[in-house]
Structures are given as structure tokens and as C-alpha cells.
């Protein structure tokens, strides 16, 4: 059970820590202190639902078809290696976090609708949470623990961004910080890929 939980935690952390539209939006709202807690909560809930759908929807299909299970396993390995290499490449070149300027304070409804669009209209969210995290979770001995681990990673990450971004703004805005995060992402992705290969 704990192995499945840890796998979900590590995979989800590796994927959500990479700079993307969702993270950039949550960070920007947090730095502005504009409904940032509500935005973080919405992202956490969306991630948890999408991961659960991916894990339990694909679990039944994969259980009935060993060929699909093998394809999912090796497809996951290839994707994790590619994603890890991409993160490592980003880490080797300076990155900067661009914070958009928004004039005036927007309503909570407008901010949350934008957060939903940033989350659900991004094709990478389906690739990461439903397909990749879901297919890996369907292969775990305890899929429910894996979902809990992935949800915990989302909870910890977005809560940290929402609560800590304002006080850590000067530190978070440095390109070196995001390069370090990309190194951590690459290590996590390579580690999980190696575990999948060993368990094949």
C-alpha cells in the first residue's frame, strides 16, 4: 500500500512541479494575493478528480488486456524518460518566470473561471493526469493508495504555492530556483521509469 502511495506522490510531484500554465497562474495569483487560496483549492480538486478517473477508468481496461498493460507500461517508461530529459534540458539553460500584469482586482468568479480554463483547456493536463498518471496508477497493487498519493502531492504543491508565494516572492522569481526544481523533476521521472522497467 505504501509503495503505491509513494509512487503516486513522486509521479504527481514530478509532473506538477514543472513550470506550466497552471503553476504559473497559481503563482501569479498568489503573488498578487488575488483569490489565491480558492484558485489553489480548485486546482487540487481538478487534479484529484482527473487522476481518479484515469486510474479507475483505465484499470478495468488494462486488467482485461495484458497487451494494453504492456503498452501502457512501456509507453509510460518512454514518456517518463522523455519528460525527465526535457526537464534536465530546461535545467541546463536559464529560465525566468514571467508574471503577467493585470490592471485592477478581478472578482472571485472571474479568477476561478480563468483557473478552470487554464486547467481544463490545456491538453497537457489530460496527458499528464488522465493518461500518464492514470495508466501508471492502474498498474499499482493498491490503485486507491496511488490516487491518494497523487492527490497529496497536488495538495502539498498548490498549498505551498498559494500560502508561501507572497513571502517568498523574491526567491521564487529567480531563474536558478526553477532550474533546481527542473533537476528534481528529472531525477523523479528517471527513478519511476527505472522502477517500471524493473517490475516488467
Task: Say how far apart CA 52 and CA 150 lie, in whole Å.
Answer: 9
Neighbouring CB atoms inside 10 A of 19's CB total 17
Which grid coordinates belong to 77? 517508461
pLDDT by position in tens, the chain (length 200): 888 899 888 888 888 877 667 887 887 788 777 898 999 999 999 999 988 888 888 656 666 777 877 777 787 788 778 878 887 887 887 654 444 444 557 889 999 998 898 888 776 677 777 777 877 887 788 888 999 999 999 999 999 888 887 677 667 667 777 777 778 778 877 887 887 788 76
98 secondary structure, DSSP code: P
Which grid coordinates belong to 155? 495538495
Burial of 185 (0-12, 13-18, 19+ CB in 10 A): buried
**pTM of the full structure:** 0.69
Distance of CA 95 to the CA centre of its chain: 19
Distance of CA 129 to the CA centre of its chain: 7
29 secondary structure, DSSP code: H
Amino acid at each position: 500500500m505504501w509503495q503505491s502511495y509513494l509512487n503516486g506522490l513522486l509521479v504527481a510531484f514530478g509532473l506538477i512541479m514543472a513550470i506550466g500554465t497552471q503553476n504559473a497562474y497559481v503563482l501569479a495569483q498568489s503573488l498578487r494575493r488575488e483569490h489565491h487560496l480558492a484558485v489553489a483549492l480548485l486546482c487540487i480538486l481538478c487534479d484529484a478528480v482527473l487522476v481518479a478517473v484515469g486510474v479507475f477508468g483505465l484499470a478495468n481496461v488494462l486488467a482485461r488486456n495484458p497487451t494494453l498493460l504492456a503498452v501502457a507500461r512501456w509507453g509510460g517508461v518512454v514518456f517518463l524518460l522523455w519528460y525527465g530529459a526535457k526537464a534536465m534540458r530546461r535545467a541546463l539553460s536559464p529560465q525566468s518566470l514571467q508574471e503577467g500584469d493585470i490592471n485592477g482586482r478581478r472578482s472571485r468568479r472571474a479568477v476561478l473561471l480563468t483557473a478552470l480554463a487554464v486547467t481544463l483547456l490545456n491538453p497537457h493536463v489530460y496527458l499528464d493526469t488522465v493518461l500518464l498518471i492514470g495508466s501508471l496508477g492502474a498498474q499499482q497493487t493498491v490503485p486507491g493508495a496511488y490516487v491518494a498519493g497523487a492527490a497529496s502531492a497536488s495538495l502539498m504543491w498548490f498549498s505551498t504555492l498559494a500560502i508561501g508565494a507572497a513571502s517568498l516572492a523574491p526567491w521564487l522569481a529567480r531563474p536558478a530556483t526553477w532550474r533546481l526544481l527542473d533537476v528534481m523533476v528529472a531525477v523523479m521521472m528517471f527513478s519511476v521509469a527505472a522502477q517500471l522497467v524493473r517490475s516488467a
